[in-house]
Structure 1
Amino acid sequence: MIRCWPVLILFATFLGCAYPNHPHDLRLRSVPDGPEGLSQAFFQSTGVALEPGHRVERVNNGRIFDAIEEEVRAARSSIHILSYIWRPGEPSDRLIRALSERQPGVECRVLVDAMGSINFEAVAPRLAAVGCETRVFRSVQGAIASLQLTRMLSRMHRKLVVRDGEVGITGGWGIWKSWEGDARNADEWRDSNVRVWGPAVRQLQQAFAENWQEAGGSFLPEACFPALSPAGEARAGFVASTGELYLSDGKRMTMVAIAAARHRLWIANAYFIPPQDISDLLILKAKEGVDVRVLVPGRHHDVKVVHEGQRGSYARLLAAGVRIWEYELSMMHSKTIVVDDRLSVIGSTNMDPLSLDVVEEGSLVVEDLALAGELAQDFEHDLGHAREIHASGWLRRGLLQRLAEQFPRLIGRYL
């Protein structure tokens, strides 16, 4: 872990780096009404429409390992796993056991990020021994040797499982001990994930294939992209985002979702340092009377300097009527948005410059009354373990706290 601290510090200071408004910043106020209008808004912004025919299931906290294992054991032709974090430990051992017992003839491909998957060199031989082709995305050594900050930080942060090209899983999970349990204490992270059946699985598979190729893998067999029949009533689309300053698809997706809000906008986000155009849109929605709530990590934040940068965004939002809570039970790692009664976003996309502009991300956008209701219930339950930040008290915080909030941004100006 120690050898990664320089990289983590670099990561953290970049997260806190503010940048001025740019002529290409996206300025949205609203989107057309109705399912087709909403679908067109996402399609015209990201190229991904909300197609009918999906079944979705939320998968919270340590249940993610149950879901992945279920898909591994159900696979008939292929199982693909892509994760920013895969580290030695019981979750890794559990999945390797399942992979070793998969049905005969099932092709296994595993892709991890070099920076997030610390000590993966201890895992890779075991995956190879059970017949999994394993690759690592963008070596850290090569990035450091380039002396280019953007290249060092251009990581693969997506989390995907695709089984037989028919079922997909995405969210904020990693394959490590922090995702075990049920967020009952500081050692068990709070996270949100989703399993999906239907046409959007093809988009998850394409995102895997894209990163797999860059890591040196071959094109996937045509059988990995089967024709998919409708599986349910939900409308959905998977938005894969690749680093592109100012206007990545991840940023466009986030802003369309926010702009769509008419009466409710509930955001849970692990690394919340919104660029000014997103802050402006959140403020606009609050002034329009939308119930804008933001849930972020509190005292158990895994990167303290990022926590201070996050707090630097509070004052302006609070003054405009945005309500903010800090989760106090454990590290809150979810990346979800609930809009009104039917629209949800769930995946790996954080609301900070690194996630929106630099790294590989992916989120499932779903229009479904049931899923939105379940995520709203989760949000309200999480507020029971959170502390609300009130505008009056926040304005009276001390000088040292104010300076700490600005420290990441001051460093960022010199990177």
Structure 2
Amino acid sequence: MEPPSTGTHGWERPDELNRQHEMRGPMGLPPGFRAFCHALYQSTRVRLEPGHRVELVENGAVFDELCCAIRQATESIHILVFIWRPSEPSNRLVEALCERARAGVACRVIVDPVGSEEVRGEHDFDPQVEQRLRDGGVEVHYFRPLSGRWLGRLFGRTHHKLVVIDGKRGFTGGFGIWKSWQGQGDSPEEWRDTNVRVEGPTVREMQLTFARAWQECGGALLPERCFPELEPVGDARAGFVESIGASGISDAERMLRMVFAEARERLWIANAYFTPPNAILEQLLEKRKQGVDVRVLAAGPVHDWRIVRASQRATYEKLLKGGVRIWEYQPSMMHSKTVLVDDWLSVVGSTNLDALSLHRMREGSLVVADRHLASQLETCWARDLKHSKEMTLARGGRTNPWRRFARQVTQILAVDR
């Protein structure tokens, strides 16, 4: 790790004493794949194991893929999801799950009751959807109900989007089970999102993430057959990084810091809630100084949190002055959480670049070393930029008091930072 930078880019800085004792940017990694793998391992305890097959699943196609995989299940189906609301996608999944449950497949579902709250404002999973699942033989649990425990649990949610089939196939990304994830991400009602389907050894880690949440929710220990030995099925190396929130630097932030540090030629970030801590903003500027092509694709005028978009825009001025290029997606809510580094390293998962994801929520992202997946993400970028507006200092890039205030508010949840 290089010594902390002594320069300033205009964001608030901690006092010098704290700076001497905090992990701050820029991170410096030795060149080479092995060096990156070692850095990721010692930072997150996750190894990039060989033998994976990983494919992108974009937008509403995720429901076709999920229903197909569920109907092929023979042993178990496990779903851990932040948002599940009544909708056509919900009906499709409920029907497929109940069909397999009646066939003897163990179907287990964990729903975050805060993420799945209805328009009526109740922090609860829709009772009709829940009853249909239970009547069909699906076991359902809530993750940390708020009843009587608001202060301790309000922000400690599970933001995972995780499906594991037979312990052999896994899905993760930004999807929720609701109408917003239908379609092609090209209208205000249909969000733009990116997910992955993965087969190979790291699916065991995804299964373990579900198992640990299942225990906390009151579920029984999963049988040993839910953790089958997984043979190599492809050429990609992959690892699943789970983050559970931390007082200090979480595994989500550690993972992102190492991935960003690895960039030598290209660092392209697509993220729905781009309001990262100052240390990461400084790292992006440092990578640009090193000659890396640093780009950010953020949510544009279609946004579900006005204050978050304002906070996001508070970061633009310094980044733009430092040579970082920024686009905002125009047709719909850009909800993806991806990173593309050079021509071989990718991240796809549920992790946003905001204080909630990095410091409070449970998150999961797949880190993949694979030129094929990187090429797929590059194709997505080319298509998305056709529907995006590049920001400049003269066009939306300047900060203002409202944006500065919004950033201060959204950084409150950053723990010990």
* TM-score, scaled relative to structure 2: 0.90
Alignment of 1:53-68 (within 5 A): 53-68=51-66
| 2-structure distance, mates of 1:190, 1:293 | 18
Which residue of structure 1 lines up, in the alignment, with residue 235 of structure 2? 233
Cα shift at 1:352: 1.0
User: What secondary structure, in the 3-state scheme, does the structure 2 residue paired with 1:277 have?
Assistant: helix
Matched, 1:36 2:38: no
Which residue of structure 2 lines up, in the alignment, with residue 194 of structure 1? 196
CA shift in 2, pair 1:216/1:28, >3 Å: farther
Cα shift at 1:19: 8.5
Which residue of structure 2 lines up, in the alignment, with residue 106 of structure 1? 105
Cα shift at 1:35: 2.5
Cα shift at 1:122: 2.6
Alignment of 1:386-401 (within 5 A): 386-394=388-396, 397=398
Q: Is the 8 A contact 1:347 1:364 kept in 2?
A: yes
Residues 313-367 of structure 1: CA distance to partner in whole angstroms, max 9, x if unpaired?
1111111111110100100000000000000000000111111111000000000
| 2-structure distance, mates of 1:137, 1:181 | 28
Which residue of structure 2 lines up, in the alignment, with residue 178 of structure 1? 180
Which residue of structure 2 lines up, in the alignment, with residue 139 of structure 1? 145
User: What secondary structure, in the 3-state scheme, does the structure 2 residue paired with 1:141 have?
Assistant: coil
Residues 382-410 of structure 1: CA distance to partner in whole angstroms, max 9, x if unpaired?
11111111134456x5xxx7122023245
Counterpart of 2:92 (choices 94, 109, 112) is 94
Q: Is the 8 A contact 2:312 2:407 kept in 1?
A: no
Matched, 1:219 2:221: yes
What is the RMSD computed on CA atoms of the aligned residues?
1.8
| 2-structure distance, mates of 1:412, 1:270 | 14
Which residue of structure 2 lines up, in the alignment, with residue 115 of structure 1? 114
Greater shift after overlay, 220-229 or 28-37?
28-37
Aligned AA (1:86): W
User: What secondary structure, in the 3-state scheme, does the structure 1 residue paired with 2:134 have?
Assistant: helix
Which residue of structure 2 lines up, in the alignment, with residue 84 of structure 1? 82
Identity %: 51
Counterpart of 1:71 (choices 69, 72, 78) is 69
Residues 143-195 of structure 1: CA distance to partner in whole angstroms, max 9, x if unpaired?
32xx35xx311110011000000000000000000000011211110000000
Greater shift after overlay, 132-141 or 367-376?
132-141
User: What secondary structure, in the 3-state scheme, does the structure 2 residue paired with 1:142 have?
Assistant: coil
Cα shift at 1:411: 4.4
Which residue of structure 2 lines up, in the alignment, with residue 360 of structure 1? 362
| Number of positions where the alignment pairs a residue of Structure 1 with one of Structure 2 | 391
Aligned AA (2:276): P
CA shift in 2, pair 1:18/1:210, >3 Å: farther
Aligned AA (1:408): A
Q: Is the 8 A contact 2:310 2:407 kept in 1?
A: no
Matched, 1:328 2:330: yes
Matched, 1:125 2:123: no
User: What secondary structure, in the 3-state scheme, does the structure 1 residue paired with 2:365 have?
Assistant: strand
| 1-structure distance, mates of 2:135, 2:182 | 25
Q: Is the 8 A contact 1:24 1:246 kept in 2?
A: no
Which residue of structure 1 lines up, in the alignment, with residue 383 of structure 2? 381
| 2-structure distance, mates of 1:134, 1:282 | 42
Q: Is the 8 A contact 1:299 1:328 kept in 2?
A: yes
| 2-structure distance, mates of 1:369, 1:411 | 39
Which residue of structure 1 lines up, in the alignment, with residue 373 of structure 2? 371
User: What secondary structure, in the 3-state scheme, does the structure 1 residue paired with 2:361 have?
Assistant: coil
Which residue of structure 2 lines up, in the alignment, with residue 254 of structure 1? 256
Which residue of structure 2 lines up, in the alignment, with residue 340 of structure 1? 342
Q: Is the 8 A contact 2:89 2:178 kept in 1?
A: yes
Q: Is the 8 A contact 1:24 1:247 kept in 2?
A: no
| 2-structure distance, mates of 1:234, 1:305 | 39
* TM-score, scaled relative to structure 1: 0.90
CA shift in 2, pair 1:49/1:63, >3 Å: same
Cα shift at 1:246: 2.8
Q: Which runs of 5+ in 2 are unaligned?
A: 1-10, 119-124
Which residue of structure 1 lines up, in the alignment, with residue 286 of structure 2? 284
Q: Is the 8 A contact 1:18 1:275 kept in 2?
A: no
Q: Is the 8 A contact 1:258 1:265 kept in 2?
A: yes
Cα shift at 1:140: 2.5
Q: Which has the higher contact order (CA 8 A, sep 6+)?
A: 1
User: What secondary structure, in the 3-state scheme, does the structure 1 residue paired with 2:147 have?
Assistant: helix
